[in-house]
Amino acid sequence: MNDSDVCRLRIDIAYDGSRFHGWAFQPGLRTVEGEVQDAISKVVHKRVHITVGGRTDAGVHARNNTFHVDVPSAYIEECEKKGKDPYGTLKHSVNAILMYTSEAGPYGTCDVVIRSVKPTHPQFDARFSALNREYTYRVADNSESFMPTRRTDILWFYHSLHIDEMNRAASFLEGEHDFLSFCRPREGATTIRTLEKLFVERDDEGNVCIHAQADAFCHSMVRTLVGTLLYVGRGMRPALWAKMRLEQRERNGEVIVAPAHPLTLERINYPETQAEQIQQITKTKRKRVLCEDER
């Protein structure tokens, strides 16, 4: 199929990761990619392939993840001949399928939903066009701020956290570094990343929110950063321990990986113009040509 036979779409999606084995397709397991790819294929009457900007792990949620997909131009033309908005129709149809196949529960609940569908240029790449990814990890460190209705996306922590010390530790980790001590390395993949933001604050409900933003994250990197900050916040390690772990560049017995369920992918940010998006693809591929695990 050449470019004239397909239309590239940019699709934003949200999901509760509790009942998924992560984003990436795995035979015999329920994954976000598997469910969504099947649903779109049914609607456009052709098997499609989707490329996502953030490949979340099992149990991790997303308020706004982004992927691109090429659908047959014939589907777009057929909708327009019938006087229908092809993008709104696709969104409605896919969400209807996802609702009926959802394992989230009764009464029309759904654990994955398409938020928006927009046409984009053929060079747009949800993975390589991305400027950065933003995550939030939420912790309730006292019984007053913990709500059982939020048990699937907040960690109930039995120790009060010292936010100032956590932020001090986080300051040592910002910037471009080799984060080998904070991720699961893969053969042939670089562990160098630019951690643009890492900070801790309390929200209006009193929960501790750990915010992380980077050009990309290695496997388990966010949860390991969080685990490190939680140890510091609890007083089990000094803030300088985070700096020491970074400089060690070694994945050893000091690795603490926080649970997955309180982690949410908030959004993926992209350049505004087509030219900037294409330029970002070249920049990203040049920087991580060997890396296959942007998350």
Domain end among 127, 160, 193: 127
* Residues 198 and 172 reside in one and the same domain: yes
* Residues 81 and 164 reside in one and the same domain: no
* Residues 166 and 111 reside in one and the same domain: no
* Residues 63 and 82 reside in one and the same domain: yes
Look at residues 37, 3, 8 and name the one whose alpha carbon lies nearest to residue 124: 8
- Phi/psi for 115 (5° steps) reads -95, -40
Contact status, residue 134 vs residue 267, Cβ threshold 8 Å = yes
| Domain of residue 260, CATH code | 3.30.70.660
* Residues 146 and 55 reside in one and the same domain: no
**Of the listed 12, 57, 153, 293, which one is catalytic?**
57
- Phi/psi for 262 (5° steps) reads -85, 5
Domain end among 127, 146, 169: 127
Give the model confidence (pLDDT) of 68-109 as tens digits: 999 999 999 999 999 999 999 999 999 999 988 776 555 557
* Residues 116 and 181 reside in one and the same domain: no
* Residue 3 pLDDT > 70: no
Q: Is residue 166 part of a domain?
A: yes
* Residues 155 and 243 reside in one and the same domain: yes
* Residues 157 and 95 reside in one and the same domain: no
* Residue 291 pLDDT > 50: no
Task: Give the Cα separation of 51 and 123 in Å (integer).
Answer: 12
Domain end among 101, 127, 153: 127
Residue labelled with tokens 């900050």: 229
* Residues 111 and 221 reside in one and the same domain: no
Give the model confidence (pLDDT) of 270-282 as tens digits: 999 999 999 999 9
Contact status, residue 40 vs residue 48, Cβ threshold 8 Å = yes
Q: Is residue 94 part of a domain?
A: yes
Structural domain of residue 146, as residue ranges?
132-266
Task: Give the Cα separation of 112 and 89 in Å (integer).
Answer: 17
Q: Is residue 282 part of a domain?
A: no
Q: Is residue 275 part of a domain?
A: no
Q: Give catalytic status of residue 16 as yes or no.
A: no
* Residues 257 and 230 reside in one and the same domain: yes
Query: Where in 205-282 does DSSP place strands (E)?
Result: 208-214, 263-269
Task: Give the Cα separation of 219 and 189 in Å (integer).
Answer: 11
* Residues 78 and 159 reside in one and the same domain: no
Give the model confidence (pLDDT) of 154-174 as tens digits: 999 988 999 999 999 999 999
| Domain of residue 13, CATH code | 3.30.70.580
Contact status, residue 122 vs residue 3, Cβ threshold 8 Å = yes
Q: Is residue 202 part of a domain?
A: yes
Q: Is residue 289 part of a domain?
A: no
Give the model confidence (pLDDT) of 104-139 as tens digits: 555 557 899 999 999 999 999 999 999 999 999 999
Q: Is residue 250 part of a domain?
A: yes
* Domains of the chain: total: 2
* Residues 123 and 7 reside in one and the same domain: yes
**Strand 263-269, strand 61-72: pairing:** parallel
Task: Give the Cα separation of 46 and 89 in Å (integer).
Answer: 16
